[in-house]
Structure formats: structure tokens, C-alpha cells
Amino acid sequence: MSHFYFGRKGACWAFNLKGHVGSCVWRLTSRSGFKWEYPLLLWESPLTNLSASLGCGRRSRAHSRPSQLICSLLRGTTQHFLHPPKMTAPPNLSHAAPQQQRFLVLFDFDETIINESSDDAVVRALPGQHLPDWLRNSYREGHYNEHMQKVLVYMAEQGVSEDSIRSAVEKIQPSPGLLNLFQYLHSHQQDFELAVVSDANMYIIETWLERAGVRHLFRKIFTNPASFDNSGCLMLLPFHSHSCSCCPENMCKQVILREYLAGRQKERGGAPFQKVFYIGDGANDICPSLALGPRDTAFPRRDFPMHRLLLERQQSQTAKFKANVVPWVSGEDIVDCLKKIMEER
């Protein structure tokens, strides 16, 4: 942390820079006790927002290079404040980059993060809390999102509002122990990067995660786009198209996983994740699990389709599965496994 002082017309201010340039907060305090706080973007000068004509002096308590850099800004003319340098970090601050997270944790959503199908919860927003037989029986195998769009149109026709749908989503209970798992991952954010890969939709997932207070934990959410149109109907779009014959037409989770791993490795300067963990429950969680390697772990929810299908693969002599398999009943089971892995480092 670096401390600086500057003053004008008898007023003395102190501010400190905490963290590294590009992700920090300026905190200013006057001798009279007035405090001012400002989130700082890379190389943005908070002095611009105080006064472009401020006459500054300073005395430094620290002599690190970042301190000297900021001091040079304080000594300059108003040109430093009106025209800050370009947003590129100098070589002498390269050490300030955050440490890369070593592990990637991927979550399914329905019946994994939450303890039921989100679509079933949404239907409970209907006055009668159930669908008519003709609509329920209109589902075609492999076209679930198409079916769900019909359901949402019907709900809008019945007068179900966005507020009613949001309320139904916010009432969904998490799976047992999942909030404890999130608490553990939150306390080890320096080690774990989190993402959601789900065939639900963005409105439902973000609404629930925000309500649970855990949205900030996830770097990325891969799911079907969704938004309300002018008539108040929640409209769904397919996430992507693909050529995988094992997955529904709107989403192949293995394609998502492989592309994400390749993209993140490039962004991380060629450094891959040490381990990948996949947490799921359904049959559509098998395909991404097949992309896992021997250092990775698949966490199928015990006695759910993903678990049963993985057991069949493990018992088959022809279908090999590379990753470790750790069934879970509660999020605490996953926490226990992650703790053991952390102890191995």
C-alpha cells in the first residue's frame, strides 16, 4: 500500500492505493475527517474528478516504483489529469498481475445447483400450478427448448407476469449442501475458477444466483439466451448449433467445455488448468465428462441419470472413462474431496 499527501489553500488530503494498478480503489481522507472513495480503472486519475486546477504537493511514505509513478502524476500540470496515459501497464508493474487460478469447476444448474428442474418451478407460477394435458404431451425427444417455449407462451396468455415468474424462481431451494460448497469455493477464490454449463436459460439462472448472493463467483454462464418481449412473454433462443449426435440440437456441453478450455489457456498465456471438475446430474452431463482427463474429476449426483450412466461405462470393457468419478449426495461430499486435493499441493 502506498500513501500520499497533497493540499491546496490549507486543506490537506491523503489517499492510498491498495491492490495493483488496473483493479484498485482510491480512498481519500481530509484532516477534517471527510472521506471520499473512488473505484479506479487502469491509469484513470481520480484527481480529474476532484479538480483539474488543483495545485499539488506531496510527501511520500513509501518509495516503491508504483509510488514513484503516482507521485510523478501529482507533481505534473493539469495535462496529466486531463490527458491520462494510454491504458497499458508499464513493465515495472507486471509483477502486480493476479495469480492464476489452478482449478476449473463447472456446474450444471437444474437438479445440481438447485434441487429441482427450474422449468417445473416456473410452471408453478400458473394459477392452477400445472399444464393442460395437450401441452404437456406435446414434447418431442431432443426438442425440449422448443417445448418449453410453447409452455412460456401459454403462461403469458394466462396472464402470468414477469414478477410471478421471478418470484417462483427465487423460491427454488438449492441442492443439499450446495451453499456450503459455494462458501468453501468463495474462501478459495484464488484457486478455483467457476462456470455454469446448463440447458436451462439465462434469465432463470441469473435470477436465482443473484437471489442466492453467489452470482459474483461465476466467471461465465453458458446457457440459452432468454428475455421478455413486449407482450411479457419469456422468449428463449438456442445457445448454439453443433454436430454432436448425442446432445439436444441447441447445446452440446462437450463442445462448450473444449472451446472454453482452449480459449482460457490462450488467455492464460498457454497455461492450462491443473485440474477440471465437472458437477452434474443428468444424461446430458455425460458428454462433457467424456472430455475430462485422468487428472480431472466428474461429480455425478448419486442415483441420478449421470451417475447410472457412468456406472454402466465403468462396468463396460469397451467404453473407457478417463476421469475420476466421485458421486455426491450433498455439496459437503464435494467439499471433502476438494479439501483433499488442496492438501496434496
Q: Give the SS3 label for residue 105.
A: strand
> What are the φ and ψ backbone dihedral angles of 114, each rounded to 5 degrees?
-100, 160
Q: Give the SS3 label for residue 88.
A: coil
Q: Is 121 found in the same domain as 34? A: no
Q: Does pTM top 0.75 for this prediction?
A: no
Q: Is 172 found in the same domain as 66? A: no
- pLDDT value, residue 317: 66
Q: Is residue 249 scored above 90 in pLDDT?
A: no
Confidence of residue 331 (pLDDT cuts 50, 70, 90): very high
- pLDDT value, residue 163: 97
Q: Is 156 contained in some domain?
A: yes
Q: Is 330 found in the same domain as 194? A: yes
Mean pLDDT along residues 146-173: 96
Q: Which parts of 80-160 are beta strand (E)?
A: 103-107
Q: Evaluate whether 149 touches 302 at the Cβ level (below 8 Å).
A: no
Q: Is 204 found in the same domain as 292? A: yes
Question: Residue written as cell 417455449?
Answer: 149
Confidence of residue 201 (pLDDT cuts 50, 70, 90): very high
Closest CA to 113 of 11, 194, 22, 231: 194
In this predicted model, what pLDDT tens digit does every residue of 102-144 receive, in sequence order?
999 999 999 999 999 999 999 999 998 999 999 999 988 878 8
Q: Give the SS3 label for residue 110.
A: coil
Confidence of residue 246 (pLDDT cuts 50, 70, 90): confident
- pLDDT value, residue 272: 94
Say how far apart CA 189 and CA 184 lie, in whole Å. 9
Is 133 an annotated catalytic residue?
no
Domain final residue pick, 92, 125, 148: 92
Domain final residue pick, 44, 73, 92: 92
Q: Is residue 1 scored above 90 in pLDDT?
A: no
Least confidently predicted of 27-31, 116-120, 304-308: 27-31
Say how far apart CA 208 and CA 172 lie, in whole Å. 8
Q: Is 332 found in the same domain as 191? A: yes
User: Which among 134-143, 230-239, 240-249 has the top mean pLDDT?
Assistant: 230-239
Q: Is 97 contained in some domain?
A: no
Q: Is 19 contained in some domain?
A: yes
Q: Is 70 found in the same domain as 150? A: no
* Pair type for strands 226-228 and 234-236: antiparallel
Q: Is 98 contained in some domain?
A: no
Say how many domains are in the chain. Answer: 2
Q: Is 324 found in the same domain as 275? A: yes
Q: Is 195 found in the same domain as 69? A: no
Task: Domain of residue 62: give its range.
Answer: 2-92
Is 199 an annotated catalytic residue?
no
- pLDDT value, residue 277: 99
Which residues are CB-contacts of 97 (< 8 A; sequence separation ≥ 6)?
20
Question: Residue written as cell 466421485?
Answer: 326
